[in-house]
Structure 1
Amino acid sequence: MTKTLLDNILLEQSNIKAWSNIKESLYNIFSQPFSGVPVQEIIKREKTVTSIETLISGTSWDLWYSFDDAVPKTAHQITDFWNNNLNGKALLILDGLSLREMPFFLIEAKKRGFIIHQADATASALPSDTTFFAKSLGFSQRSSLDNNQAGNSHSLEGAITEVTDLPWKDCVQLIGSNPNVVLWHTWFDDRIHEYQVPGKGIRELITKSSEQFTSDDFWHLIENLANGRRLVITSDHGYASTGDFINIDGEQAEYLKAKYKNQRFIKNDKVLEASFVPPIDIQIELNNGLYSFVLGRRKWKNSGGYPTLAHGGLSLMETFVPFFEVSKS
Structure 2
Amino acid sequence: MSRGLYGIDEVRHLVNDDPFDALFECLRRIWDADDAFEAKQVADREYRTRLLEREISRQYPDLYDDLVDRVGDHPLMELTDGCGIIMDGMSLREGFRLAADLAEERDWTVEYDWAACEGLPTETKFIAQPWFNANGGKQASMKHDHVAYIGEPEVPPLPGTSPEYVWSRFPDKRLHNSQEGQYTLTELVEVYDEAKELVIDIIEESVHDRFLVSSDHGYVNFSGNNPYRLAEEDEAILKEKFSGRYREVEHSGLLRKLERDGIIHRAGGHYLIRGHHSWTKRGATSRIDHGGLTLVETMTPLLTVDTTGD
RMSD (Å), alpha carbons: 3.3
2:247 maps to 1:254: no
Aligned to 1:224: 205
Alpha-carbon shift at residue 146 of structure 1 (Å): 4.0
* Correspondences of 1:120-139 after superposition (within 5 Å): 120-124=113-117, 125-139=119-133
Alpha-carbon shift at residue 277 of structure 1 (Å): 8.2
Aligned to 1:156: none
SS of residue paired to 1:182: strand
* Correspondences of 1:226-305 after superposition (within 5 Å): 227-244=207-224, 246=226, 248=230, 250-261=232-243, 263-270=244-251, 274-275=256-257, 279-285=261-267, 289-305=268-284
Separation in 2, partners of 1:218, 1:138 = 20
Residue 170 (structure 2) aligned to one of 156, 169, 187: 187
SS of residue paired to 2:257: coil
1:179-235 C-alpha deviation (Å, 9 max, x unpaired): 43211111211112111355735x1441222431454x652332123x334211111
Q: Percent identity?
A: 20
Q: 1:177 to 1:134 in 2, by over 3 A?
A: closer
Q: 1:292 to 1:6 in 2, by over 3 A?
A: farther
* Correspondences of 1:208-223 after superposition (within 5 Å): 208-215=190-197, 219-223=200-204
Letter of the 1:65 partner, please give it: D
Residue 99 (structure 1) aligned to one of 92, 113, 119: 92
Alpha-carbon shift at residue 237 of structure 1 (Å): 0.6
Alpha-carbon shift at residue 165 of structure 1 (Å): 1.3
Retained in 2: the 8 A contact 1:283–1:290? no
TM-score, length-scaled by structure 2: 0.81
Alpha-carbon shift at residue 109 of structure 1 (Å): 1.4
TM-score, length-scaled by structure 1: 0.77
Retained in 1: the 8 A contact 2:36–2:42? no
1:24-74 C-alpha deviation (Å, 9 max, x unpaired): 3224543x34157644444443333333221355564542012122x475x
Separation in 1, partners of 2:210, 2:121 = 29
Separation in 2, partners of 1:21, 1:282 = 24
Letter of the 1:244 partner, please give it: G
2:11 maps to 1:18: no
Aligned to 1:112: 106
Separation in 1, partners of 2:175, 2:134 = 23
SS of residue paired to 1:119: strand
Alpha-carbon shift at residue 20 of structure 1 (Å): 3.1
Q: Which runs of 5+ in 1 are unaligned?
A: 152-158
1:81-101 C-alpha deviation (Å, 9 max, x unpaired): x13x4xxx1111111111111
Retained in 1: the 8 A contact 2:47–2:224? no
Separation in 2, partners of 1:67, 1:136 = 19
Give the aligned length. Answer: 299
- The runs of 4+ residues in structure 1 deviating greater than 6 Å are 5-9
1:280-312 C-alpha deviation (Å, 9 max, x unpaired): 423324xxx322111222211112343211001
Q: 1:60 to 1:199 in 2, by over 3 A?
A: farther
Separation in 1, partners of 2:132, 2:181 = 36
Q: Which runs of 5+ in 2 are unaligned?
A: none
Separation in 2, partners of 1:164, 1:294 = 30
2:292 maps to 1:313: yes
Retained in 2: the 8 A contact 1:267–1:292? yes
Alpha-carbon shift at residue 141 of structure 1 (Å): 4.7
Retained in 2: the 8 A contact 1:198–1:307? yes
